[in-house]
Structure 1
Amino acid sequence: MTVEEQLTEPEITRPTRSLTAVTARLLVSGGPFEMETAEIGGVATRVWKHAPAHMRAVVEASLEHGETAALVYGDERLTHAAFYRTTATLARRFVEDYGLAKGDRVAIAMRNYPEWVIAYFAATAVGAIAVPLNSWWSGPELEFGLTDSGAGVLVADAERIERLGDAPARLGVALIGVRTGSLPEGARTWEEALGEVAADARLPEAGLAPDEPCTLFYTSGTTGRPKGAVGSHRNLLTNIVSGSYSRFRSLMRLGLDMEEVQAYVDALGPAVVLCVLPLFHATGAQTVMLPTLFNGGTLVLMYKWDPEEALRLVDRERVTAITAVPAMISQMTSSPRLGEYDLSSLMLLASGGAPAAPALVSRTRSTMHDMLLGQGYGLTECSATATVNGGSDYLLRPDSAGVPVATVDVKIVDAAEQELPPGEVGEVWIKGPGVVHGYWRRPDATAATFTGGWLRTGDLGRLDEEGFLYIVDRATDMIIRGGENVYCAEVEAAVHEHPAVGEVAVLGVPDEVYGEEVGAVVRVLSGGELTEDALVEFLKPRVAPFKIPSRIRIVADELPRNAAGKLLKKQLKQEYGWSAEQG
């Protein structure tokens, strides 16, 4: 049976080849998925032998792809050749005009503009460290990112510049404004900073090694203070091979030979990928952007998420792949205009950033044409990808996060850090070349999270007999709202700043669109006055919009706690009808 016939098979059948057999065929010596052992931080680690060595290799690959489109934004199109020239020019300006050296930090704060991509690669290609800042952050949060990272240069758009006010000048950060009008004194526009892009522009020399740091992706902590995960070139570029490996594994599980899959992939040509996730997320930058550009594909960018605009772009650009959070997939498949667009080019629809409900899988299959479906599991701290579930495996186990890619080990441990057998629930630990080197200037947090090459995820899960991972709960007190991590302690701290608040419990509320919404139960101090609307207005300048509770209960009685003084959030969820069972 051909690949096309397998993809349109109406009945869900079990894979015809075992994982063991497929893995053995994929990992042959001399093949594209050959592995070797490298010592990373004193720990022997399996790595992809043929992964790119450093970030500048992604930029240099654009020279091979010439006049095919690399970036599309609205009516703007940038070829791979133009992407290379522009990135090389900015990289040279960073070195010659801004004095950037290896290890210096360049912060990026903007929407998913083409300039985001160019600034990211220009910085990392010369050995600097790119610091993507959450564009949803408030002014104080953005300022924290600049201060904590020690960034010397900030590339930002008009919205982020307005939020920051005089912070860049106060901090001595050189500002480059993207798609903006007037700028603070001393700042330069993108065009001024870039200057002339010569036809023969080339990247400046830079000696880079795979395990040198190149990114700081911020992830929130239970204390409410974001932590910068220090990612190396190897951490990020592992995703390029891991993504390809996972696709081959899914198709070969159907009984196809490696040569047949390769011929099918070659016939499809370079991917056209709609990037609906923010690039400041590990998933957007590392599993969507990097493989697309390195393999000569086209990255189609959106100003902001809109399900009908996404459908229109799939039709117009003949998009072949999308990776989105489940809420986005749900909005696309339930759009009343779904049938108005030609989506036949779409071959892969994957979910990431949050677990997808099994019902979403069946709904997608019933409302859209046959295609490869899948989802992955990972954290910023393991460079986004640890396990992947795709193809027939995903249809049979839609509630599973999948099996680890070949270079990754996953184990389940108990409270005593002893490995548990299949079926037992415990904390998920991950080891592999994607595990970052720790947290930026946070030795205590690093020691608490990373041990002997292993990442303690804080997630609770189990493995079945075949090695499929199931995430059953989060050990950390965290809400995932449409793929955005919201840590309760951070929001609680902001709520507590209101003078009328005595205590507060922030918790996740089930939501059909976002998976979870932010809820808060607030006890007002005796004699104090507070309304739901007033609390929302109070929080707007203090935290990002997606962190502001949309479900609020104002109470006078003390909140329930256990003997140790810990808030009984499960009891509160049941009391207010916010538990998953109550819906």
Structure 2
Amino acid sequence: MTDAESPRPLRSLTAVTNRLLTRGSPFEMDVVEIRGTPTRVWSHAPASLRACLETSLEHGDAPALVYGEESISHADYYRTAATLAHRLVDEYGIREGDRVAVAMRNYPEWVIAFFATASIGAIAVPLNSWWTGSELRFGLTDSGSKLLVADGERLDRLADVLPELSIPSIAVRTESALPENSRSWHEVIGQVSPGVRLPEAAPDPDGPATIFYTSGTTGLPKGAVGSHRNMIQNIVTGEYSRARTFMRLGLELSEYQAYVDALPTPSILCVLPLFHATGAQSIMLPILYRGGALVLMYKWDTEEALRLIERERITSITAVPAMITQLMASPNLSEYDLSSLLALSSGGAPAPPAMASRVRGNLNDVLIGQGYGLTECSAAAVTNGGPDYQIRPESCGLPAPPVDVKVVDPVGTELPPGSVGEVWLNGPGVVIGYWERPEATAEAFADGWLRTGDLGYLDDEGFLYIVDRAKDMIIRGGENVYCAEVEAAIHEHPAVAEVAVTGVPHEVYGEEVGAVVHTLPEQFLDADELRSYLEPRIAAFKIPAHIQITKDDLPRNAAGKLLKKQIKREHGWLGEE
């Protein structure tokens, strides 16, 4: 059943919420005290990442991890992770609270190392696989990691610094000679016993489990310290969002559960890096916990993604908007069987409203959605999907029930609906703080609230709209120009694949609006045509005075975020630094 085919009128949000959150439902909540703050949490979320790993034993021979021609069952995935956990304890002396860094592409070994580490109460430290050797060195020293699990490419980058750090390493998929104090993955794992079980451990749900480094688009990256409870909330939040979508279409909760039970085993195409919060927390965790298959991609490739959707019978994808745009623009789209695809969501970067119409024009039966969150709130805190996304494609949605959202002015006073201010979040996903950064922690977190640095507003029904990053907002002659609004208007042009809007220094106005536009293949667009297109859509002062048209992809970091400072530098728009 899809939103396009629903024979029933939309049920009200209030009625759906009341049905879903009743005591005894899969989505009931409790209130627990987290670091002195009473916080709503999902009652039926697993207790820890260890508990998530243990559920794989229940799923037996069903595929858990797929990479290329490799397929690892849930049972073998658990046994390998349990074996590695014993090696970490017995051979490397890893204890509760020790940090184990993981630096590699999206390989099955990434997932195994991550869960093996967290299951014994140690702290997993995913490092950005795009980082240079010096950046990887920073991550290792900043986190104080006791062990590194890395692929060959990362070890090559670290060849000159690993000896001085004296950190042992486990080498994954490398053909080069191993560094000093390094052993291969296969040597470390050795024989895997069919009856192996995890070492004894009882991780504290609110104790540190992960350090995910922020993207670092400005300044040095900061390590966001997440607890087990922070991580696992996404498992239930994602399921709640799906249930809300179908109950809005008229189903009862029992009908929705019957519908889900009748679906094929879920499989998700993981096109985002696992070291990013969206990849690990919104994609990896829920699919493995539900017994589905995590289909990993080494790197994004449009045609390879289409091939994998058909071959692996992919049921859902979460990707940054630029990837979804490229999928929809593929000239070979109709040549693939995409009938297994049930849901397509954007995450990791803001989605332009035009994306919904482009997907709907090509894949009419697919449910479309998007989410909003940050590393510091453990990925998705706000979600929008199905009919609500069709009605409000410019909104990132409603907060998950355990999450509170408010919009405040510069002194922290809460603003009424419709007023733009800084978005603050409170809920079970808000992380413990920044690793060994007490001043940065105090600046970003207060009494359970996360100051996101994003500008937005709430409407009368509680839907959240993000209009810009506070630091990205352009002030042109005293007028506020929100980059996201201008980008959304430009995205409506059918020739546009992606766009970055930034401020350009100006002696009189302070700043003018600049836009770099990447056009779709075989599409032509010039600056004057684009300005004419925008004139009836946005105010004159918001129309870019500087427009650069390119056929090249715009630079993004590994999380899919546009590198606007780099874009400004490349086009001479940076001004004095």
Whether the TM-score (by the shorter chain) exceeds 0.5 is yes
- Does residue 24 of structure 1 match 2:41? no
Secondary structure of 1:377's counterpart equals strand
1:304: Cα distance to partner? Answer: 1.1
Secondary structure of 1:319's counterpart equals coil
How do 1:548-567 residues align onto structure 2 when only pairs under 5 Å count?
549=566, 552=569
How do 1:348-497 residues align onto structure 2 when only pairs under 5 Å count?
348-477=343-472
Amino acid aligned to 2:66: V
- Does residue 9 of structure 1 match 2:5? yes
- Does residue 178 of structure 1 match 2:182? no
Amino acid aligned to 1:451: A
1:553: Cα distance to partner? Answer: 5.4
The question of whether the paired residues in 1 share the 8 Å contact of 2:371 and 2:380 is answered with yes
- Give the Cα–Cα distance (whole angstroms) in 2 for the partners of residues 553 and 276 of structure 1: 27
- Does residue 130 of structure 1 match 2:93? no
- Give the Cα–Cα distance (whole angstroms) in 2 for the partners of residues 73 and 199 of structure 1: 23
1:170: Cα distance to partner? Answer: 1.1
Aligned partner of 1:317 among 290, 312, 315: 312
- Paired residues in the alignment total 504
1:166: Cα distance to partner? Answer: 2.8
1:298: Cα distance to partner? Answer: 0.4
- Does residue 87 of structure 1 match 2:81? yes
1:165: Cα distance to partner? Answer: 1.6
- Shifted more, 446-455 versus 361-370: the winner is 361-370
Amino acid aligned to 2:15: A
Matched residue, 2:147: 153
The question of whether the paired residues in 2 share the 8 Å contact of 1:152 and 1:172 is answered with no
1:509: Cα distance to partner? Answer: 4.2
Aligned partner of 1:203 among 193, 198, 206: 198
1:168: Cα distance to partner? Answer: 2.2
1:7: Cα distance to partner? Answer: 3.4
Matched residue, 2:476: none
Amino acid aligned to 1:213: P
- Give the Cα–Cα distance (whole angstroms) in 2 for the partners of residues 559 and 48 of structure 1: 46
Aligned partner of 2:341 among 337, 346, 349: 346
- Give the Cα–Cα distance (whole angstroms) in 1 for the partners of residues 421 and 284 of structure 2: 33
Structure 2 CA distance for partners of 1:257 and 1:234, relative to 1, 3 Å: same
1:397: Cα distance to partner? Answer: 0.6
Aligned partner of 1:97 among 72, 91, 96: 91
Residue by residue, what CA displacement relative to the aligned partner does 1:267-325 show, whole Å, maximum 9, x if unpaired? 00431111011000000000100000011000001111101100000000100010000
The question of whether the paired residues in 2 share the 8 Å contact of 1:136 and 1:545 is answered with no
Aligned partner of 2:44 among 42, 50, 57: 50
Structure 2 CA distance for partners of 1:221 and 1:67, relative to 1, 3 Å: closer
Aligned partner of 1:233 among 207, 214, 228: 228
Matched residue, 1:296: 291
Secondary structure of 1:386's counterpart equals strand
Matched residue, 2:182: 187
1:185: Cα distance to partner? Answer: 2.0
- Give the Cα–Cα distance (whole angstroms) in 1 for the partners of residues 209 and 92 of structure 2: 18
Secondary structure of 1:59's counterpart equals helix
- Give the Cα–Cα distance (whole angstroms) in 2 for the partners of residues 353 and 510 of structure 1: 20
The question of whether the paired residues in 2 share the 8 Å contact of 1:63 and 1:84 is answered with yes
Secondary structure of 2:125's counterpart equals strand
Q: Note the aligned Cα RMSD (angstroms).
A: 2.6
- Give the Cα–Cα distance (whole angstroms) in 1 for the partners of residues 202 and 55 of structure 2: 17
Secondary structure of 2:83's counterpart equals helix
Secondary structure of 1:428's counterpart equals strand
- Give the Cα–Cα distance (whole angstroms) in 1 for the partners of residues 218 and 252 of structure 2: 50
TM-score, reference length from structure 2: 0.83
Secondary structure of 1:385's counterpart equals strand
The question of whether the paired residues in 2 share the 8 Å contact of 1:222 and 1:476 is answered with no
Amino acid aligned to 1:339: S
Amino acid aligned to 1:45: T
Residue by residue, what CA displacement relative to the aligned partner does 1:540-569 show, whole Å, maximum 9, x if unpaired? xxxx998593665587xx9767xxxxx7xx
- Give the Cα–Cα distance (whole angstroms) in 1 for the partners of residues 217 and 421 of structure 2: 19
Structure 2 CA distance for partners of 1:468 and 1:550, relative to 1, 3 Å: closer
- Give the Cα–Cα distance (whole angstroms) in 1 for the partners of residues 199 and 218 of structure 2: 41
Residue by residue, what CA displacement relative to the aligned partner does 1:415-438 show, whole Å, maximum 9, x if unpaired? 110000100000000000000010
Structure 2 CA distance for partners of 1:545 and 1:147, relative to 1, 3 Å: farther
Q: Which runs of 5+ in 1 are unaligned?
A: 489-504, 514-538, 562-566, 568-583
Structure 2 CA distance for partners of 1:553 and 1:296, relative to 1, 3 Å: closer
Structure 2 CA distance for partners of 1:112 and 1:61, relative to 1, 3 Å: same
Amino acid aligned to 1:281: H
The question of whether the paired residues in 2 share the 8 Å contact of 1:344 and 1:369 is answered with no
